[in-house]
Amino acid sequence: MRMITRSLSTLLPSGIVAVEQEPFSIYVHWPYCSSKCTYCNFNKYVDPDVDNERMERSLVTELKTELTHWGLDRKSRPVRSVYFGGGTPSLARPSMFQSVLDTLDRMCHLSKDTEISMEGNPSSTTSVQTLKSLRDIGINRYSLGVQSFQNHILKELGRDHTPSSALRSLLDARSVWPGRVNMDLIMGHAGQTLEDWTKELRFTMDVVDDHLSLYHLTVEPGTALHKDVTQGKIALPDNDQATDMYEAMIELTSKAGFEHYEVSNFARNQAYSKHNSGHWLGVDYLGIGPGAHGRVRDPRTGERLRTFNIRDPTGWMRQCAEQGTGLRRTVAISPEESKQELVVLGMRTKLGVDLETFRRLTGQDLLKYLDADATRSSIGGGLVTLTPGALSPTERGMAVADELVARLVP
């Protein structure tokens, strides 16, 4: 199978293989935080009295049950990646990571190629020694939620760290995982100007490792930010300002040697996130923990399913003790939904939609599925490119990914 670019080929499984041999990923959700950010609508809880032993026991119990149920414990399907997200996983005890990884290694085998990531916040990244202990357990990639290096923005977002502590945490993480540290940054804050954003980006380029996630601040219903915006207490940059900030982001990251390989993700030295790219490419992933969701294929029928866990940690732990899993429901992914999902996610990535993967997962040729006139005009208009291996968005196409999908999908 031809790849779009040599540098990005590491993101794709090597060739088209049987389901029984395909790699899969694991997402483990740690739901607890030390505080709630103003913009966050994730499944997070502020609890000063976390029952760490019960939480750890429940995660291991559910992991065993689900691996067995979905036939993922046969050691024929390699573990592509493990991702500890949240919440704030860096608040968890190291024994939790050890127990989960030991269980996975025993049941599925973790290889030297398995990417094992965890998220952390500067306020809970306490020492180099702690980070080294996590590395020794098996964590080989760290994602740090910096969000901003400006104090007034951190206060607006409800973050519980300072610019100096963020920088210190970033440098500490880089010393433990050189070339394997991601940093999150958010743009589009109240009162933020293009000059402000450009200044912050230039500083970031001087301190960042080889992976960077840059997000535009979104206003989610039910958050403190949403309340302030709807009541007119704060005003976010308009569309023209947001576009200028996006273009500055593309220019400065490119000058610093970063490849824009997904709408919000940048890498240099091929330091791509294997876990996130797996989601975009249609790789199966198992969701473990309160509120976690997954996308797996039933080994008996081959049907693709979405899984959804109980959100409340207490209820989830109770059901894990009683039934071995906190699974709340499964929903079949229809052939049409599968097609749409692959196009939606593919148009957000430089790799685009792999033609063989689309055919294997849907039973249909991509070019016969998409609107022919829209495909031709998008190619002619410089929004997508077609190679023997994939249909991929250009830089211009990724910038308007949502509109592009609306054109292409019939």
Tell whether domain 336-408 is in CATH 1.10.10.920: yes
pTM, rounded to two decimals: 0.91
Mean pLDDT, rounded, of the chain: 91
pLDDT in tens, 105-120: 999 999 999 999 999 9
**291 pLDDT higher than 90:** yes
Q: Span 285-297, mean pLDDT?
A: 96
The secondary structure element, H or E, covering residue 384 is strand 384-386
| pLDDT confidence band for 5 (50 / 70 / 90) | very low
CATH of domain 21-279: 3.20.20.70
160: DSSP letter: S
The Cα 410–Cα 395 span in angstroms is: 23
**6 pLDDT higher than 80:** no
**201 pLDDT higher than 80:** yes
Could you tell me the residue ranges of all domains in the chain? 21-279, 336-408
pLDDT in tens, 84-100: 999 899 999 999 999 99
Q: Span 57-69, mean pLDDT?
A: 97
- Which residues fall within 8 angstroms of residue 409, CB to CB, at 6 or more apart? 339, 340, 343, 344, 370, 371
**142 pLDDT higher than 50:** yes
The secondary structure element, H or E, covering residue 373 is helix 372-380
- 């059901």: which residue's tokens? 319
| pLDDT confidence band for 18 (50 / 70 / 90) | very low
- Rg (C-alpha) for the chain, rounded Å, is 21
pLDDT in tens, 331-379: 999 989 999 999 999 999 999 999 998 998 889 999 999 999 999 999 9
* Fold matches, 21-279 and 336-408: no
Instruction: List C-alpha distances in Å: 158 to 235, 247, 288, 339.
Output: 17, 27, 27, 39
Instruction: List C-alpha distances in Å: 295 to 15, 69, 380.
Output: 21, 14, 35
Within a 10 A sphere around the Cβ of 321, how many other Cβ atoms? 13
**17 pLDDT higher than 70:** no
pLDDT score for 282: 87
Nearest Cα to Cα of residue 297 among 373, 223, 361: 361
Torsions phi, psi of 204, nearest 5?
A: -60, -40
pLDDT score for 226: 86
The answer to whether the CB of 10 falls within 8 A of the CB of 269 is: no
Rounded-to-10 torsion of CA 206, 270, 141, 133: -80
| pLDDT confidence band for 9 (50 / 70 / 90) | very low
